[in-house]
Structures are given as C-alpha cells and as structure tokens.
Structure 1
C-alpha cells in the first residue's frame, strides 16, 4: 500500500513538472491569427484566446491574441471614456494547445444607470458619461507628465492585471458609486493611448 502511494505521488509531481504549451499569435482586423505553439513560463497556468475591440469615432478596430496567461489575465469587460471604448472578451483553458478558437468581440450593451465623470474635447472634465453593460466602476487613468482620462470600467478590468501591464509609470484607479471619480480639469493627450488596444496588456508579456 505504501509503495502504491509513493508511486502515485511521484507520478503526480512528475506530471506537474511539464510546462503548459499554448498557441501564440496576434492579428488586427479581419485577417487570420497565424498561431504557433509556445512553451509557457511556470506561473502561466492558462492558455488564453481573446478578442479586443476599440471603437472611436464610429470606427471599430479588432485585435485577436492567443498566448500563455496567468489566471489574473483571464478577464472580460470594457473600458469606456465616452470618446473611445475598449472591450475585451477572453476565454481561458488549462490543457495543452487548447486555445485554438477565437472568441467574438463583446456585443454592444445598453446603459445600466451608473454615471461617471469623463473629459470632453475642450479639456473640461465636468462632463458625465452613462456607463454600459458590465461597467460598474468609475476610473481615473493617469500618466505622469502627460495627463489623465476618466470614464466607466467593468469590475473585472479594474481587478485584473491591467494596472501592472500598463507599467509602473501609469496609474489606473477605480471606485464605486456614481460620479466617484471626481470632476477635475485636465489635459486630453492621454486619450490617444486608449485608441490602441493596450498592446502590452494584450500580449501578456
């Protein structure tokens, strides 16, 4: 009996020593995502496949990514400034090369009754924005020496690994409650950063 237990324990430990293998690729637009296998790092225990859509000025840009991921990166939600909106739909799995499918972009959602401050094109951040879908948080996004933006975000985005992926010099602060992100007058130059699908985050490093 003791021998059987020792063999079972050894097999379990040995099986966990193998790293996970996931497909990796990135594509923008309607083109295919040409996937290739990749061996994950020890802390990357998930294979991820996600679709990010950035809508601004009535134009939507879609990015599809497959990669290894840590559990905190398996999130879905949206990030909305009123001028631009980024949605992320993620599917994660735990077996080798299981991320072979591409999830569809999150569909348009109706307003949910929550409001947050946002910044209009005239540098005035006293405007209000009606949040949509799962956006149950207000946010302030800050980059030193550049500026900040405000708007609505999903809880999953605020509690995920987005802050770390943006780097030590960037700050994303989320809060609960209507108009909790204050109405300060600030610059708009950082808005253009939100029109890019947060590439460092999407590629999972």
Structure 2
C-alpha cells in the first residue's frame, strides 16, 4: 500500500483550479467523490496498476484501481520489470469536468509472453543476470542510487514510453542522487551512460521498497 501511495502522490496530485474529475480511491486524496486539478496540462483519468511479483511468494498479483487527475504526459500504458517485480499501468484519460465518471477501468495484461529481447537484471550484487523482456518492453534500463552511503543498482526491461525524455520536467527532483539510463539492444544495459528520462519518475517510486 505504501508503494501505491507514492505512485498516487505523483500521478494524482491535486492542484486547485478549474478542472474537476471523479475521484475513486481510499488513500485520503478524494473529497466527496471529486477532485480539482489544474486545467492546464492535466486530464481526468481512470487507471489500473498491477504489481506482479513473479518470483515472490509464488507469483503474486496485486491490482489497484483509481480515478482522479493526472498530468497529460503521464497518461501512459507501460511495463517495467527488474526480474523480481513487474509493474504495469494502463490508463484512460479524457478532458472535461467529471468526464472520467463512467470510464471503465482498463486492464493491463500481465500475462504477456516473452518478446525475444534480453536485458541484464540484478540478483543481489550480481547485475549480470539475464532477464527476458515481455510484452512491449523494448528497452533495457539501469538505475543507480546512493542510499546512506551505499551505491545500489537496479537493471531490467521497460516500455518505450517509460524511457521517453518528454517528461523530464516532471521527473526532475523526484529522487535526488539517482542516475537513470535507457538503451536498446540485447544486454545493452551492462554499461549505460546515465540520461534523464521519465523512468526517473516511475521506476524509483514503483520499486522504492527495494532501496529502503
């Protein structure tokens, strides 16, 4: 639940202005079933996030649904995997007051099959483990972060939209001290040059418990 709170805190952050959206979730952000957000660069949304623990507790799947406000550039369908967790989001967005009231929650397909791409992932301090990418995961990624004086690293597969540079202003400052890079090509994340990307916003938040 803590993990999902972080995601909602970024993606559904309320900002008082004119756009009103239907709000459905139980973490305290809703008020009487509606939420106000900035009409500029915001949309109303209905989103489903699936946390797929492929190697934890025998293939666990947790689904979270929410409706509210979202920055338009974050209205994405994506998949990110580090070999332990796979996180998928599918989002439907619209513009206009309360336009998301009757939108059915979209359903990500977490049963996607391997697409043939291979990236490195980390198993403890060993970051040369092979991870078979699935679905639309077309990029390899590397995230490094200094946590309490110790450098930790995460590698894996990610969708093209997650690795886009178009939302660097949103991702900036979300997790100081982190370096993120995306690349294409099998095992290309063995030695990547850090670059700003939307992944800087998504991955550390979705997998923040791995860095605790």
Counterpart for residue 83 of structure 2? 82
Displacement of 1:71 after TM fit? 1.5
DSSP-derived class of the 1:72 partner: helix
Preserved CA contact (<8 Å) 2:139 2:158: yes
Preserved CA contact (<8 Å) 2:79 2:88: yes
How far apart, in 1, do the equivalents of 2:157 and 2:175 lie?
Answer: 21
The aligned length equals 169
Match of 2:120 among 117, 120, 129: 117
Displacement of 1:44 after TM fit? 3.7
Which sections of structure 1, spanning at least 5 residues, go unmatched? 1-17, 185-189, 197-205
Counterpart for residue 155 of structure 2? 150
Counterpart for residue 23 of structure 1? 22
How far apart, in 2, do the equivalents of 1:165 and 1:109 lie?
Answer: 32
Residues 59-74 of structure 1: pairs in structure 2 closer than 5 A: 59-74=60-75
TM-score (norm 2): 0.69
How far apart, in 1, do the equivalents of 2:208 and 2:177 lie?
Answer: 19
Displacement of 1:149 after TM fit? 0.5
How far apart, in 2, do the equivalents of 1:157 and 1:35 lie?
Answer: 33
Preserved CA contact (<8 Å) 1:125 1:183: no
Classify 1:44/1:36 alpha carbon distance in 2 versus 1 (closer, same or farther; 3 Å).
Answer: farther
Which sections of structure 2, spanning at least 5 residues, go unmatched? 1-16, 193-202
Post-superposition Cα deviations, 1:161-201, rounded to whole Å, max 9, x if no partner, equal: 474484344333211111111169xxxxx9996276xxxxx
Please give the root-mean-square deviation of Cα atoms over the aligned residues, in Å.
3.0
Preserved CA contact (<8 Å) 1:21 1:40: yes
